Amino acid sequence: MNVQKAKELIRMTDFNRSVLPDSVRTNGATPNPWWANAVVYQIYPRSFQDSNGDGIGDIKGITSRLDYLAGLGVDVLWLSPVYKSPQDDNGYDISDYQDIDPLFGTMEDMDELLAEAHKRGLKIVMDLVVNHTSDEHAWFQASRDKNDPHADWYWWRPAKPGHEPGTPGAEPNQWGSYFGGSAWEYDPKRGEYFFHQYSKKQPDLNWENPEVRKAVYKMMNWWMDRGIDGFRMDVITQISKVVDENGKLPGEEGGLIADEPVGPEGYSSPFPFCSDGPRVDEFLAEMRREVFEGRDGYMNVGEAPGVTPARNEHITDPANGELDMMFQFNHVGIDQSGSKWDTVPFKVANLRRELAEQQNAVGKVGWASLFFCNHDQPRVVSRWGDDSSEANRVASAKAFALLLHMHRGTPYVYQGEELGMTNAHFTSLDQYRDLEALNAYKQRVEEAKVQSPESMMAALALIGRDNARTPMQWDASKFAGFTDENAAVEPWISVNPNHATVNADCQVDDPDSVYAFYRQLIALRHNNPVVAAGTWHLIDVNDDYVYAFVRKLGDAALLTVVNLSGKRVAIPSDSAALTESGVSEPRIVVSTHGATHAVVSLANKELSAWEGIVVEL
């Protein structure tokens, strides 16, 4: 596709919704960005829709479902990676940035998806992984030769002095990978080790090398010129590493920076030295200048491990020219203690504390990404809600949806979240496909013996990534409509058995469904400036069950009050005082249980299980 054609496609992306006037302040930019009242929908292509019966979702499958997505009302589709990849980490290990993996289709399929999405007013944002590549990428293969121009494109280090290369203890330092084992892999061809924060097939790029950055920006411009509408950049805040004045990493022999202590699994963590490093601002500002400056209608989002809310404010402040918004993770770690796999019960107070910090940080400038679910997180209805019965599943799915979508920022809906899809409830290890889960079980249970098999399986069932990766549930047929029920190949991962009752087919025309409720929330953000841009103020800060806050814009104000428990509870004092004079149905903006029920609840000063209400003040 030529550049002119791409520009024509971009111009076709007009939204059927109001645009916030510049008199309404959003992130501090003038004019207001187009995404200020938008909603993003994440697609995990492998699990969304299989069009050819091979058991794996594909690009043509996505195209075939665009009318469903347009009907939901979302504005932007974020695609997890579809680039060429060995699929060691389900596509987050890219071997060719400028080609489509045959699993997902062809570049022609991608062009068709762009064109058809833009016709429907849907923008396409592509997932991009540039902290690391696949070890099968041409850049990495070239770097294995010390005399090649690419020799310094990755983090290569010799064995520790006095040790035989490739033997235990010869690694350059004691860092462990987040996916288990050492973060260093020995390469016999080069005779050195390369660093990988994630899988050993995902070597980290060396962003200290300006040639690496030039190559990345060139590739990004190629995609933008082709007609995509921006990038969601995976672990982008890990591209800058802490090094001493001689370029040595912490813990390296002869280095000036001490490493962290070794943990119970036998390794120290690279996280403190590889997250929000010293040159992150410089690199992100350079990227914006080289790729996005002079373009209109795009969105660039960064996944931000290790970034504090205060830093989020700086990075997303338009004046600093870095990112439009970022994903922060403190709020999705509230049920974990120490290791990811040591889980603790959900508490409303912990969620309120973390989200409040994020909201307050961007109260003046910058922007927030709002999410509970994505391809790396379990289903919120199973994690913090209640999927033990159909009534509780629907009610708790709506409660968490209302809570999230009434915050200030850009909401992200992960595929199936709008249906209240649940965790997989796998019971045996052989049902899992995720590299992280399988490696964690091996390391923690079998090797380090720091967790029992029963405890680990319970943790995987609660927070394992495969919970979000079971096929999209379109209908009640054998494979949930994800692939043809007569297909010779079963889906790459099991379909959730509850697809017979939890599916799009039985919800789209049901006005009381989770799907219908999401449509209502999305339309509210499009059309109500208070929801899109109003200030955010937390109230009832000490309640154990109710999460409440007020949004204000000029003279308009909305109270959101949500019971995040499965029992009837009293409306706390601040919220009760704001509705003391009584509330009529026309003032109920949205409610999980309906306007009539909401009026009674407010009058009685109590909320039913999983009840959420938004009322005009």
pLDDT score at 19: 83
Domain layout of the chain by residue ranges:
535-616
Paired with 563 in beta bridges are 546
pLDDT score at 492: 97
pLDDT score at 1: 40
pLDDT score at 339: 85
pLDDT score at 5: 47
pLDDT score at 21: 85
State which CATH number among 3.30.450.40, 3.40.390.30, 2.60.40.1180, 3.30.365.10 fits the domain covering 535-616.
Answer: 2.60.40.1180
pTM: 0.95
Q: What is the DSSP string of 310-364?
A: HHHHHHH-GGG-S-SEEE--GGGGTTEESEEEEE----HHHHHHHHHHHHHHTSS
- C-alpha–C-alpha distance, residues 124 and 40, integer Å: 10
- 370: helix, coil or strand? strand
- 60: helix, coil or strand? helix
pLDDT score at 18: 79
pLDDT score at 17: 74
The answer to whether 564 and 403 have CB atoms below 8 angstroms apart is: yes
- C-alpha–C-alpha distance, residues 311 and 275, integer Å: 12
Paired with 186 in beta bridges are 193
- Convert 396-442 into a string of H (helix), E (strand) and C (coil): HHHHHHHHHHCCCCEEEEECCHHHCCCCCCCCCHHHCCCHHHHHHHH
- Residue 176 CB partners (closer than 8 Å, separation 6+): 182, 183, 263, 265, 266, 267, 268, 269, 270
- Residue 389 CB partners (closer than 8 Å, separation 6+): none
pLDDT score at 16: 64
The parts of the chain modelled with pLDDT lower than 50 are 1-13
Active site residues: 234, 303
Phi then psi dihedrals of residue 116, to 5 deg: -70, -35
pLDDT score at 73: 96
- Convert 159-180 into a string of H (helix), E (strand) and C (coil): CCCCCCCCCCCCCCCCEECCCC
Structure tokens at 151: 């020799």
